[in-house]
Structure 1
Amino acid sequence: MDRRLTLYILIGMVLGVVAGWLVFTFIPKGTVTVWPFGVEADLKGLYLSSFGLLSSIFLNLIKMLVAPLILSTIVVGIAHMGDSAALGRIGFRAIAWFIIASLISIGLGLVMVNFFQPGVGVDVSGAAAASVGEVAKLDFFEFILHIFPKNAFDAMATNNILQILVFSLFAGVALSAIGEKGAPLVRGADALAEMMLQITGYVMRFAPFAVFGALAKVVASSGLGILATYVELVTEFYLSLGILWLILLTIGGLFLGRRIFTLIRYIREPMMIAFSTASSEAALPRLFEQLDRFGVPRRISGFMLPLGYSFNLDGSMMYMSFATLFIAQAYGIDLSIGTQIAILLTLMISSKGVAAVPRASLVVITGTLAMFGLPVEGVAIILAIDQFLDMGRTATNVVGNAVATSVITKWEGMLEVEEPEFVEHPHAPAHTAADGRAGLELDPSNFDDERKG
């Protein structure tokens, strides 16, 4: 099923680009008379709404899964871990990795934008104030306060991953402390996780249609021509992302050895979903399943992935440093190395506080520009192609979190032998949530002796 779904997603991407180009090219803007019915309608708007509906339905279904999936997996993982010292050690190593990866991402962005200087010579005469929502005040103390939920149900209702993580940590540690009295709740959370993964399997069947709709809408509204206008910026940004991927995967390979290639194969589907929908949440449930297959215990991935989605946005941080310096170059503003380093540190801190905000990267960039006296209206220059840039940085976030989770698991000595190939069987018994798949029969011929032990 995995290979077929990957193929269907690729087909959806190609068909989406083609359909979007056809609408952009042949459907005029404004109200037209629809033949042969003789009624007037905004035909292009109807196409855009139809394309957007496909991706919106899928994203809503994915968001429906996120909160209960994170809550149940973290609670079960911590309750089964039983060792608070191990939890603290994993948390410390995770934060250390995230800080280093953040510095690499932002630092590489600054180096590449200074090397390529894509903003030099850009015409900013037509730039106007861009609407990116309310500019978030970069207040470190408010961010710290925002981490701790005042209402667990409100955190789940708004899909605030960081607050759900904090509540789940308390719940998991408490259930582990009360022992047998908490066993029914642990079993309930285990069943909830298994149910959410089963629902994920159903929802993912709709992914190719969502990918088609997302890309079709973008191309139909902006056309492929807009990429030609910004071809230098887009090319250099994606080249920089490619270098970041190479660095992250090379570091991962130092810990994982040849299994880094297996990891790349497993996460290609979540990467494509993240790329085509420009949504990290859309890839999260599938990323859980693929890391299960790779051999990462759910008690580790259930803790690491939610934490990473708040603190380890490698692609987003590179984009923010790249875009901020690009705007300064476009306006002919020469920034000293000291100012660039200050911008780097500001982006590193402020990017953690708005993970759940739509167009969060643009909001952070706008706030940073204002803080350093740079022209805020410069955001309008990149707003037109933000969707195309967002696709690349979102896929990079998935790669960064997959590598981080796998490396920390290997560092802890808890990385299991990867699961053998499996075949679907209609009468196969359901597996546990740790397996991440229900109704699958493992092929005995592919079992590894080490796995049996």
Structure 2
Amino acid sequence: MKIFQNLTVRVLIAITLGILTGYFFPETASKLRPLGELFINLIKMVIAPIIFLTIVLGISNMGDLKKVGRVGGKALLYFEIVTTGALIIGLILANVIRPGDGVQTNAVKGGDISKYTEQGAGMDWTEFFLHIVPSNAIKAFAEGDILQVLVFSILFGIGLTRMGESGKPLIQTFERISKVFFNILNVVMVLAPLGAFGGMAFTIGKYGLSTLLPLAKLMGTVYATMFLFIFVVLGLLLRYYKISLWAVLKFIKEELLIVLGTSSSESALPQIMDKLETLGCSRSVVGLVIPAGYSFNLDGTTIYLVMATVFLAQVFGVDLTLGQELTIIGILMITSKGAAGVTGSGFIVLASTLTAIKVIPVEGLALLLGVDRFMSEARSITNIIGNTVATIFIANNENEFDRERYNQVLRKQNKNELAEYKY
């Protein structure tokens, strides 16, 4: 049937089968992690080249280097304002709903958190900011360090732009290479349902739905907060430019489902860049905002970090003063920016924050181990929606958004949906 040719349908079916497999056959499902990781690795294989080519071509087509600096400056300002807003919203709702009240520390099965606490306590944030600039460009590509690739790509794009007419043959070559990589991406996306199935089956099989019960209130609070943030804050930002958030979410639904299945926002990064160009955002804005956003605009991660911190304070009966809560916001404004480039980032950054505050037991992280994987889906989805909205907002602000193309895409999407619905 034609409906099964739709990637969205196939991924939905894969996620459903993954949940059922994890629930009924947990031992088998817990061994399916390689399927999800294989798909994510295939995506990561093309992320660095696609980011490089998109940024270089975007800057070279923009031509005006002052404009490059202006767009980058606006993006960083936007990131700081919105992520700070996310922190404040998370802090307020955590204090109002108080998900940590009544949770017994012995009611939740803990785990080994030593690797997180050691890394968190030893994190050098000066070193992190120095790490932004690659000492070896080839190493940055080899390790898939998005932020370092971003910096090198911007400098390369500026250097190419300064060549003027003599650089056009190289630009044309890059255009052709870019098409090759997006063709590779199209081939890889055929395996998206397999990756979503493996990732979801592993999560349910490994951690089990029973781990959610003791911390159900925390999970519900985190999910509700992210829901409000997306549909109120981000929705209002798009409404300012008369763009429907719901229409945008429908347009990127396949990417959102892939993120849901794999618990990784990186698994949809190249597709989101392509989709945003298709939607009407200029390549230059997409190339600058999306890669930078993956390090500096992690709305879902910041909400989770502040709510998890306040949750642990409530569990251990630590009555945080206003000054201490403001300190938490200040610390997380810095530490959350390092979450993208650190393995096990949520726990390591949270451990670093608790170590800096010195009033909440770091050992409390063991309470969150069982449900962290389930909350990572919410974090990843919120992060990718936040970066999508940021790109559209800045593109409109820079008059780099093709409104006619946007309307055409939505009309075509509605016709396609109607055609599929008949089947």
Local SS of the residue matching 1:135:
helix
Partner of 1:381: 367
Shift of 1:286: 1.3
Larger radius of gyration: 1
Deviation of residue 247 (structure 1)?
2.6
1:108 equivalent in structure 2? 89
The alpha carbon displacement at 1:267 in A equals 1.7
Determine if contact 1:129/1:379 at 8 Å carries over to the other structure.
no
* Residue in structure 2 matched with residue 238 of structure 1 by the alignment: 223
Contact residue 52 and residue 153 of structure 2 kept, 8 A:
yes
Identify the residue that residue 29 of structure 1 maps to in structure 2: none
Query: What residue is the counterpart of 1:436 in the other structure?
Result: none
Letter in 2 for 1:62: I
Matched, 1:23 2:5: no
Q: Quickly say closer, same or farther: Cα 1:247–1:276, change in 2 above 3 A.
A: same
Shift of 1:268: 1.8
Structure 2 unaligned regions, length at least 5: 417-423
The separation in 1 between residues aligned to 2:200 and 2:214, in whole angstroms, is 19
Matches within 5 A, 1:274-289: 274-289=259-274
What does 1:76-115 correspond to in 2, within 5 Å?
76-115=57-96
Please, which of 400, 407, 417 is the counterpart of residue 393 of structure 2?
A: 407
Q: Could you tell which deviates more after superposition, 219-228 or 82-91?
A: 219-228
Q: Which residue does the alignment assign to 1:301?
A: 286
In the alignment, the residues of structure 1 paired with residue 4 and residue 70 of structure 2 have an alpha-carbon distance, to the nearest angstrom, of 34
Q: Matches of 1:73 and 1:346 in 2, distance apart?
A: 33
Separation of aligned partners in 2, 1:47 and 1:227: 18
1: CA distance, partners of 2:111 / 2:343: 21
Segment drifting more, 372-381 vs 352-361 = 352-361
Structure 1 unaligned residues grouped into runs of 5+:
25-43, 423-441, 447-453
**Aligned position for 2:30:** 48
For residues 261 and 223 of structure 1, what CA distance do their matches in structure 2 show?
A: 32
Counterpart among 277, 289, 293 of residue 292 in structure 1: 277
Q: How many percent of aligned residue pairs carry the same amino acid?
A: 35
Q: Secondary structure at the match of 1:384?
A: helix
Cα distance in 2 for partners of 1:58, 1:173 equals: 33
What is the alpha-carbon distance in structure 2 between the residues aligned to residue 159 and residue 88 of structure 1? 24
More helix by share: 2
Query: Secondary structure, in 3 states, of the residue corresponding to 1:124?
Result: coil
Contact 1:73 1:190 (8 Å CA) reproduced = no
Q: Distance in 1 between matches of 2:5 and 2:355?
A: 47
1:131–1:272 distance in 2 versus 1, CA, 3 Å: farther
Kindly state the Cα deviation for residue 265 of structure 1 after the two structures are TM-superposed: 1.5
What's the secondary structure of 1:351's corresponding residue?
helix
Q: Give 1:14 deviation, angstroms.
A: 0.8
- Higher relative contact order, chain-length normalized (CA < 8 Å, sep 6+): 2
Taking the aligned partners of 2:245 and 2:215, their CA distance within structure 1 comes to 34
Q: How far is the alpha carbon of 1:252 from its aligned partner? A: 2.5
Is residue 45 of structure 2 the alignment partner of residue 64 of structure 1?
A: yes
1:2-401 matched pairs, under 5 angstroms: 4-24=6-26, 44=27, 47-49=29-31, 51-125=32-106, 127=110, 130-133=113-116, 134-136=118-120, 137-373=122-358, 374-401=360-387
- Looking at structure 1, the residues matched to 126 and 313 of structure 2 have their Cα atoms a distance apart, in angstroms, of 28
CA-CA distance at 1:3 after TM superposition: 7.9
Judge conservation of contact 2:110–2:369 (CA < 8 Å) in 1: no
For 2:85 and 2:222, how far apart are their aligned partners in 1? 15
Matched position secondary structure for 2:148: helix
Matches of 1:241 and 1:204, distance apart in 2: 27
Inter-CA distance 132–390: structure 2 relative to 1 (3 Å threshold): farther
Q: Which amino acid in structure 2 is aligned with residue 6 of structure 1?
A: T
Equivalent residue number for residue 418 of structure 1: 405
Alpha-carbon distance in structure 2 between the residues aligned to 1:238 and 1:3: 31
- Residue identity matched to 2:163: I
Amino acid corresponding to residue 147 of structure 1 in structure 2 = I
Change (3 A) 1:3 1:398: farther
Distance in structure 2 (CA, Å) of the matches to 1:93 and 1:278:
29
Distance 1:168 1:278, change over 3 A: same
Aligned 8 A contact 1:117 1:329 in 2: yes
Task: Give how far 1:291 is off.
Answer: 0.9
* TM-score, L = length of structure 1: 0.85
SS in 2 for 1:229: coil
RMSD: 2.2
Q: How far apart are residue 354 of structure 1 and its match?
A: 3.8
